[in-house]
Amino acid sequence: MIGGMSLPDEPGGSWTLLTGHGHVLVEIARNPDARIRDISSAAGITERTAQAIVADLEAAGYLTRTRVGRRTRYTVNPDSLFRHSAQEGMRVGPFLDLLARSDDGSTAEPDDA
């Protein structure tokens, strides 16, 4: 390992393609009714970190939170733009559509029960 980065010949390494913010946003797109506990588990982060990331994403306009009884329902804003200049003008919606698909290729739908 050189300067915190994996060498090209090291299998796997310790980095991931998405940031914690990306993982949280994808999980919310998959399951808008997910609890913070579920989101943190899926993203591999602590509940406290997941709460902070959700607050960041809400403040930046990537999602909104709505209370439904004792639960929270998240709504992702697919028209939000990526923040990095390399993706200038690109919306997050199509990206989330790809990553939020289930193994059979369909998009995840919350249960209506």
For helices 47-59 and 36-43, give the axis angle rounded to 10 degrees: 100
Question: Would you say residue 41 lies in a domain?
Answer: yes
Question: Would you say residue 113 lies in a domain?
Answer: no
Element of type H or E holding 64: strand 63-68
Residue type, 11: P
Question: Would you say residue 95 lies in a domain?
Answer: yes
Question: Would you say residue 65 lies in a domain?
Answer: yes
Give residue 65's domain range. 20-99
CATH of residue 92: 1.10.10.10
Structure tokens at 76: 């992702």
Handedness of CA 46, 28, 42, 36 (dihedral sign): positive
Total domains present in the chain: 1
Calpha distance 57→82 (Å, rounded): 12
pLDDT at 2: 52
pLDDT at 4: 57
pLDDT at 15: 81
pLDDT at 54: 98
Q: Are 32 and 74 in contact (CB under 8 A)?
A: yes
Handedness of CA 4, 28, 50, 55 (dihedral sign): positive
pLDDT at 111: 46
Question: Would you say residue 10 lies in a domain?
Answer: no
Question: Would you say residue 59 lies in a domain?
Answer: yes
List the pLDDT tens digit at each of the 113 positions of the chain.
455 555 555 676 778 889 999 999 999 999 999 999 999 999 999 999 999 999 999 999 999 999 999 999 999 999 999 998 889 999 999 999 999 886 665 555 544 43
Could you tell me which residues are beta bridge partners of residue 71? 68
Q: Are 28 and 74 in contact (CB under 8 A)?
A: yes
